Amino acid sequence: MSTATTLPDAKKVGMVSLGCPKALVDSERILTRLRADGYAISPDYAGADVVLVNTCGFLDSAKEESLAAIGEAIAENGRVIVTGCMGEEADAIRAAHPQVLAVTGAHQYEQVVEAVHEHASPSQGPFVDLIPQPSEADIKLTPRHYSYLKISEGCNHSCAFCIIPQLRGKLASRRVDAVLREAEKLVAAGTKELLVISQDTSAYGVDTRHEPRTWKGREVRAHMTDLARELGQLRTDDGTPPWVRLHYVYPYPHVDAVIPLMAEGLLTPYLDIPFQHASPKVLKAMKRPANEAKVLERLKGWREICPDVAVRSSFVVGFPGETEEDFQYLLDWLEEAQLDRVGAFRFEPVEGAAANALPDHVPEELKEERYARVMEVTERISAAKLQSKIGRTIPVIIDEIGEPDEDGDIGATGRSQADAPEIDGAVYLRNVAATLKAGDIVTVNVEDADTHDLFGVIE
10-residue mean pLDDT profile of the chain (459 residues): values are 55 89 84 84 90 86 90 94 88 93 84 89 54 51 89 86 78 95 94 95 96 95 96 93 95 93 95 93 84 80 96 95 96 96 90 84 96 97 97 97 90 97 95 94 97 96
What is the signed CA dihedral for 332, 336, 342, 346, rounded to 10 degrees? -10
Kindly state the greatest CA–CA separation across the chain.
89
The answer to whether residues 204 and 173 touch, using CB atoms and an 8 Å cutoff, is yes
Per-residue exposure over 221-249, b if at least 16 CB sit within 10 Å of its own CB, e if not: bbbbbbbbbbbbebebeeeebbbbbbbbb
CA distance 379 to 331: 12
Can you say how many angstroms the Cα of residue 78 is from the centroid of all Cα atoms in its chain?
Answer: 30
Q: Which of 54, 51, 53 is nearest to 43 (CA)?
A: 51
pTM above threshold 0.75: yes
* Residue 351 neighbours by CB distance under 10 Å: 12
Helix or strand holding residue 259 (H, E) = helix 259-263
pLDDT at 290: 54
pLDDT at 22: 79
CA distance 173 to 123: 36
pLDDT at 134: 46
CA distance 59 to 85: 11
The answer to whether residues 281 and 330 touch, using CB atoms and an 8 Å cutoff, is no
How many CA atoms are closer than 13 Å to the CA of 310, on its beta-carbon side?
24
pLDDT at 293: 54
Can you say how many angstroms the Cα of residue 313 is from the centroid of all Cα atoms in its chain?
Answer: 13
Q: Which of 137, 115, 220, 195 is nearest to 397 (CA)?
A: 195
Per-residue exposure over 376-412, b if at least 16 CB sit within 10 Å of its own CB, e if not: ebbeebbeebbeebeeeebebbbbebeeeeeeeebeb
pLDDT at 71: 94
pLDDT at 2: 47
CA distance 391 to 447: 6
CA distance 301 to 327: 26
Can you say how many angstroms the Cα of residue 9 is from the centroid of all Cα atoms in its chain?
Answer: 34
pLDDT at 138: 57
pLDDT at 353: 81
